[in-house]
Structure 1
């Protein structure tokens, strides 16, 4: 059974003054002092690395996705066709990403699913899904 909850960004500060950004289930502390779910938080740096890895895998395997994108562009759903056309454009002559480009990520990524076993699944706006493990990210 897949339980879907939204994560939200939180800023954590240690007693030593160290700041870090994490994403945590929005249901975790809905009521002050009461833990609403058992999901762990995810470090923002992990999500960034996972996105970069997934995008680079998509670029590296572009040729195998081209046929799917072409079919999507010829389909009746105009939004799906537009997104496929953009992915053909974005991946043409693309070099692997070395660092996060938030504006570009917002143009390409729909959402990330986080699983208890450490698997992260990036779902791109063209419908492509790429998985990686958080230890790899």
Structure 2
């Protein structure tokens, strides 16, 4: 399992070869000793995982809005707040074609990459959505 939370830039004098990747932040926890064997993942893959997740939410809007309507009665004020926030976001949402950083930070808690095969996208409301790479 790899937490894709360590954004790194592989620089090059040739701009075409410059890459932005994410890798496990624990990969080199101790200097000179690799403690995580997982590979890096290009940021474009993570961006596409977000686009796919958001579009799946839009396509299944009724399911999600019903889920959040139930949470409006929750005793926890944060759960109620997030439900209202998410309902507002999806109310008039349309599918997207490219990564939207503002929307990402409004709804995503984290993305966890599993051996380059799948990504679990965790929403701020606790929902987890699996994206196959």
* TM-score, normalisation: structure 2: 0.89
Q: Secondary structure at the match of 1:39?
A: coil
Distance in 2, matches of 1:129 and 1:30, equals 27
> How far is the alpha carbon of 1:117 from its aligned partner?
5.4
- The structure with higher relative contact order (CA 8 Å, sep 6+) is 2
Cα deviation code 1:92-121 (max 9, x no counterpart): 121101111111110110111111251101
Q: Structure 2: 5+ residue runs without aligned partners?
A: none
| Alpha-carbon distance change, 4 to 73 in structure 1, aligned in 2, over 3 angstroms | farther
Name whichever of 85-94 and 108-117 sits farther off: 108-117
Cα deviation, 1:58-101, whole Å, max 9, x if unaligned, reads: 11101012221011111011111111111111001211011111
Match of 1:131 in 2: 130
CA shift digits 1:20-53 (9 cap, x unpaired)? 1111111212333321210111110000000110
TM-score for both structures, normalised by structure 1 = 0.87
| Mean Cα deviation higher: 44-53 or 94-103 | 94-103
Number of residues paired by the alignment? 132
Q: Contact (CA 8 Å) 2:4, 2:22: kept in 1 or not? A: no
Please list every run of at least 4 consecutive aligned residues from structure 1 whose deviation after the TM superposition is greater than 3 angstroms: 3-6, 14-17
1:31 is aligned to 2:30: yes
| Aligned Cα root-mean-square deviation (Å) | 1.8
Q: Which runs of 5+ in 1 are unaligned?
A: none
Q: 2 CA distance for matches of 1:14 and 1:40?
A: 20
CA–CA distance in structure 2, aligned partners of residues 97 and 5 of structure 1: 25
